[in-house]
A and B are shown apart, each in its own frame.
Chain A
Amino acid sequence: MSQNKKLFPDLVKELGTIHPITQIKSEILTLLEEIGFDSIDGPEIETEEYNFDMLNIKKTHPARQMHDTFYVQNKDFVLRTHTSPVQIRGMLEQKPPIAFCSAGKVYRKDDDSTHLPMFHQVEGIYVDEDVNFSHLKDLIYKIVTSLFGSKVKIRFRPSYFPFTEPSAEVDILYEGSDKWLEILGCGIVNPKVLENCSIDPNKYSGLAFGLGVERMAMLRYEVSDIRDFYKSNLDFLRQFK
């Protein structure tokens, strides 16, 4: 057949979508890798020791209750409640100076329009001699600016996590908005956590941070119901390319 190309309408081949959660996860990991973090990976089924004890989360901590954490196989294991046990595994394997980042699924016993039993986190840790809070601030500025643009205002405020001390929560304010949005938690690694990983807290100190991928995706794409990410509706997925 002699076909005149010009007269032919374009053959539109529809591309598929990489899941928006994967997209944001990769974007953050790539950014962290460019800064100098090494990407590491760990299991989603964890022991209480790695998920809680090593991270200075006491036996009586509310997070360890059956109504907050999924226990597995007659309490032999838990579904990890955060990606932090991956950092513990990293620190047990490698000695400072170290900088790790990891991303993945985490599980908590929640189910509503802003919380799901399964969601994603990305986090990073950097341990070296003389790492301090001013370095943490610098790093967070870099991350937030890269993800949300240089026009957002950034606010640090004290918070509480058993594995960091001091701990901070970071809020951002979009230009023209008057509502601060909470986007990540961070802090100076609690010396007890370093000790648990046989790292001398008198010699080394660390900074750590973590953020929720769904929350970031919801903010960026203006998705109001977190459950939409996991319905696998083609009409939903197609919008993210």
Chain B
Amino acid sequence: MKALVNDIKARIKDPISTEELSDLLFQLGHENNIENNIIDIDITPNRGDCLSLLGILRDLKNFYEIDAKYEIHEEILDSFNLNFFNESVESCPNISFLKIEIDETTLDYKAYLESFFSELGNKKINFFTDISNYLSYELGQPTHCYDFSKLDGDIVLRTSKERMQFETLTDKEIELFDNNLVFEMNNKVINLAGVMGGKETACSDSTTSALIECAFFEPESIIGRSVKYDLNSEAAHRFERGVDPVCQEFVLRRFINIVSDHAKIKNVKLYTQGIKDLNEISININRQKIEKILGISIEEEKFINILENLGFRIENESIFIPSYRNDIFSINDIAEEIARVIGYNNLPSNQVNLDKLSNPLPSKSVETFLRKTLTLEGFSEVINSPFTENQSSDSFFVDNPLDSNKNSLRTSLRESLTNNLLYNERRQKDSIKFFEISDVYFINDKKLSRQKKLGIIASGRVGNNYEEFSKQINEKYLKDILISKLSLSDFNIEMISRENLDTKIKTPIFFVEVDLKGMQRQEVDSDLLKEINKEIKYKAISEFPTISRDISFLIKNEDKINIVNGLVQEFKNKILREQFIFDFYKDNKNGVTKIGYRFIFQSNEKTLTLEEVDEVMKIVIETIISDKEIEVPGYKI
């Protein structure tokens, strides 16, 4: 909720800095952000009572002397007859109406009201609606204003299950469906209760006679409606979280007071129906229990003080909960109240010892063994979402998928891994080796069945070094890893056909999937694995195409091999992504060594031109062949 810092400060009697206020609200559990005298407070869903100036001020009473009294119309109010029928008392136990008639409307507001619009950025709509919106900000209770002259029938409040058309006061036409709590007149919806009123009976600039409705709606009858009909409603936000069930008359009297600040009231009357006395809820005082929950000791006087300042009434051995606190049920809730006021950061911390519970350090799982072994072989792990468009007879379906095409849950890792492979092929990768370890779910005889699977996919070169560069991944390569490295015997390597895949690449794709059930863990040679570097900072990757260049050096003096290699590996350039030896051949007979390097170029900003790449290559080559014992066949300076 957004509020003017000055609206809060004005009611705190002691001087308080904005920073102090912000920190204190954080301590109380109200995350906030202050900018230009506007505080945006993130109220947790259990604290609907704090969605107003009054609510915030009530929470601050343990720290400052606060004036939380708002002037109301104190005089006795006459009642009037309204043909109102509440057919949904369970959803709306308490409701009051105010009939108010003024001489003329104004948009020239007093400072407190004006600032709600000009400083807090709310839009003026019309006189009565403006007061209603402001009041909601001030006291947290939404009210709805009907133009009295537009009401020409009985008003019925009921829970409707029919499909009905409704035009909101924001000119939006919606079709109501399922359960809705609605106000009807002449069999037409005039107000979607607690969410938004209708256009037909709404107030306008010229309205001088209004009917103000002030009700308590059970959150259950409001929840989800504003989302369902895509309506932006402050009122629904408040009703969903729960408003004070017994504040109607007070709020309407405040309404009168604000009206009287701006216009001459010709006539005002109150209609109330079936205001139930709320059963005051109480909890037994159990200070020891609270001390036990928080791990502190607290004096009784301080304890009582904190609660009374928060509006709780302490009587005999009971704590009576104020009507606006619908989030307090148990002694744990009271403990949280005490803790908030003391400050979580000021509560002690005591060493906890779980040693007595622990088994000797648990053994690393099969999964860890698989991950480490496969990464040593150059395979990278991927994680995929389970949603797929490919449905099989035993797959689960999602009732409300994000993407209506992908409404099934995968039963195999094959499709996801194939997509991962193609994605990287499109980015010019020619040695792709992936694995994934994931649960998959099946319906088995109407029951849920769960399997943990390892999927491996590979295609292209075995690796990017001079021993592996010219070798293509084949069935034997994968089979050797599965048998000798993973000690698997029961598996089926599949060659995935490229026929139906959107690709022009021809290298065969090999895929294997195994159930991890019953797999035994084995030791990994831990010396081979470096600790993962925690200091890594991610560098954004480029989506522009790469260009690669191969170059071979003939070295006549073998002492120069490492010099050449050093020069190449250390060469850096903004557009050079990587370089590696893809070919190494020592011709002993002729006494020459041939080293082939691949250079891969890519820019973060654009598609590179061949000229740009050649320019860099020229520097590399000419630096190296300045030595007479090294040459690039066919290349002349």
Query: Which residues of A are in contact with B by a Cβ distance under 8 Å?
Result: 1-4, 7-9, 11-19, 21-23, 26, 33-39, 43-45, 60, 62, 65-67, 70-75, 77, 79, 97-99, 109, 111, 116-118, 126, 130-139, 141, 155-160, 165-168, 188, 190-192, 205, 220-223, 228-241
CB distance from B465 to the nearest CB of A (A): 5
- Asked if B541 and A236 make an inter-chain contact with CB atoms under 8 angstroms apart, the answer reads yes
With A1-B588, A70-B401, A241-B532 known to touch, is A117 a contact of B385 (CB < 8 Å)? yes
Residue in B293, B345, B433 whose CB lies within 8 Å of A188 = B293
Residues on A with C-beta less than 8 A from B295 are 132-135
The answer to whether A12 and B294 have CB atoms under 8 Å apart is: no
Structural contact, B336 and A166, CB atoms closer than 8 A? yes
Q: Are A111 and B536 in contact (CB under 8 A)?
A: no
B186-197 interface mask toward A, CB cutoff 8 Å, 1 = contact, 0 = none? Answer: 000000000000
**Are the C-beta atoms of B538 and A165 separated by less than 8 Å?**
no
Cβ contacts under 8 Å, A133 to chain B: 293-295, 335, 339, 347
With A135-B350, A222-B537 as known contacts, state yes or no: A158 contacts B423, CB within 8 Å: no
The residues of B with any CB-CB pair to A shorter than 8 Å are 26-29, 31, 44-47, 219-220, 223-224, 227, 240, 292-296, 327, 330, 332-333, 335-336, 339-340, 344-345, 347-359, 361-362, 368, 371-372, 374-387, 396-402, 409, 420, 423-424, 427, 429, 432-435, 439, 441, 443, 448, 450, 463-468, 530, 532-534, 536-539, 541-542, 558-559, 561-562, 565, 580-581, 584, 586, 588, 593, 595
Which single member of B359, B435, B558 contacts A7 (CB below 8 Å)?
A: B558
Chain A residue numbers with a CB within 8 Å of B427 are 233-235
What residue in chain B is nearest A124 (Cβ atoms)?
Answer: B354
B27 contact from A15, A16, A99, A157, Cβ within 8 A: A157
> Top 10 nearest A-B pairs by Cβ distance?
A36-B354, A158-B29, A134-B295, A166-B336, A137-B349, A156-B344, A36-B358, A132-B295, A160-B44, A135-B352
Known contacts A7-B562, A239-B539; decide if A43 and B450 are in contact (CB<8 Å): yes
B466 near A11 with CB under 8 A, answer yes
Q: How far is the CB of B432 from chain A (nearest CB, A)?
A: 7
Give the distance to chain B from A179, nearest Cβ to Cβ, in Å. Answer: 11
Given A79-B398, A98-B357, A134-B350: A45 and B380 interface contact (C-beta under 8 Å): no
Q: Can you sample 27 A-B contacts with CB below 8 Å?
A: A3-B586, A7-B562, A8-B561, A13-B378, A14-B463, A18-B381, A19-B383, A45-B409, A66-B400, A70-B398, A70-B399, A73-B396, A98-B357, A109-B402, A126-B354, A130-B292, A134-B347, A156-B345, A159-B44, A165-B333, A205-B293, A228-B538, A234-B380, A235-B542, A237-B382, A238-B380, A241-B530
Q: Which among A18, A156, A166 has the greatest number of chain B C-beta atoms within 10 A?
A: A166
Contact A60 B541 (CB under 8 A): no
In the bound assembly, the distance between CA atoms of A9 and B434 in angstroms comes to: 28
Partner of A16, one of B44, B347, B374: B374
Distance of A9 Cα from B280 Cα, bound (Å): 83
> Given contacts A13-B465, A16-B381, are A97 and B356 in contact (CB under 8 A)?
yes
**Nearest Cβ on chain A to B89's Cβ, whole angstroms:** 19
Task: Report the Cα distance A160→B538, complex, angstroms.
Answer: 33
Cβ-Cβ contact count across A and B, 8 Å cutoff: 279
Do B371 and A166 touch across chains, with their CB atoms under 8 A apart? Answer: no
A240: chain B residues at CB < 8 Å are: 532, 536, 538
* A97-B371 contact, Cβ under 8 Å, with A70-B398, A133-B294, A191-B330: no
Residues of B within 8 A of A77 (CB): 396, 448
Return chain A residues, CB-CB under 8 Å to B400.
66-67, 70-71, 109
Q: Are A99 and B354 in contact (CB under 8 A)?
A: yes
Contact status B397-A72, CB under 8 Å: yes
A147 to chain B, nearest CB (A): 9
Give min CB distance, B341 to chain A, whole Å.
10
Please measure, in the bound complex, the distance between the C-alpha atom of A4 and the C-alpha atom of B372, giving whole angstroms: 32
Residue contact B383 to A229, C-beta cutoff 8 Å: yes
- Cα A147 to Cα B448 in complex, Å, equals 36
Q: How close is B587's CB to chain A, nearest CB, in angstroms? A: 10
Complex alpha-carbon distance, A188 and B344, angstroms: 13
Complex Cα spacing A230 to B420, Å: 10
- A79–B402 Cα distance when bound, in Å, is 13
Q: How far is the CA of A16 from the CA of B434 in the complex (A)?
A: 8
A26 → chain B, closest Cβ, in Å? 7
Contacts of B465 in A (CB 8 A): 11-14
Residues of A within 8 A of B429 (CB): 234
Q: Across the interface, do A221 and B537 meet the contact criterion of CB distance under 8 Å?
A: yes
Determine which residue in B29, B332, B335 has the highest number of CB atoms from chain A within 10 A of its CB, and name it: B332
Q: Complex: how many Å from CA A205 to CA B44?
A: 24
Q: Which residues of chain A come closer than 8 Å to B45, judged between CB atoms?
A: 62, 160
Tell me how far the C-beta of A228 lies from the nearest C-beta in chain B, rounded to whole angstroms.
8
**Assuming A134-B347, A155-B345, A158-B27, what are 9 further A-B pairs, CB within 8 angstroms?**
A14-B465, A17-B381, A19-B380, A60-B220, A70-B398, A72-B397, A73-B396, A235-B541, A241-B530
Which of A9, A36, A72, A168 has a CB less than 8 Å from the CB of B581?
Answer: A9
- Whether B349 contacts A141 by the Cβ 8 Å rule is yes
Interchain CB contact under 8 A, A45 and B448: yes
Residues of B within 8 A of A109 (CB): 400, 402
Q: How far is the CB of A237 from chain B (nearest CB, A)?
A: 5
- Contact flag A158-B344 (CB < 8 Å), given A8-B561, A15-B376, A18-B532: yes
Taking CB atoms, residues of chain A closer than 8 Å to B468 are 13
Q: Chain B residues with Cβ under 8 A from A62's Cβ?
A: 45, 223-224, 240
Enumerate chain B residues within 8 angstroms of A117, measured Cβ to Cβ: 385, 387, 402
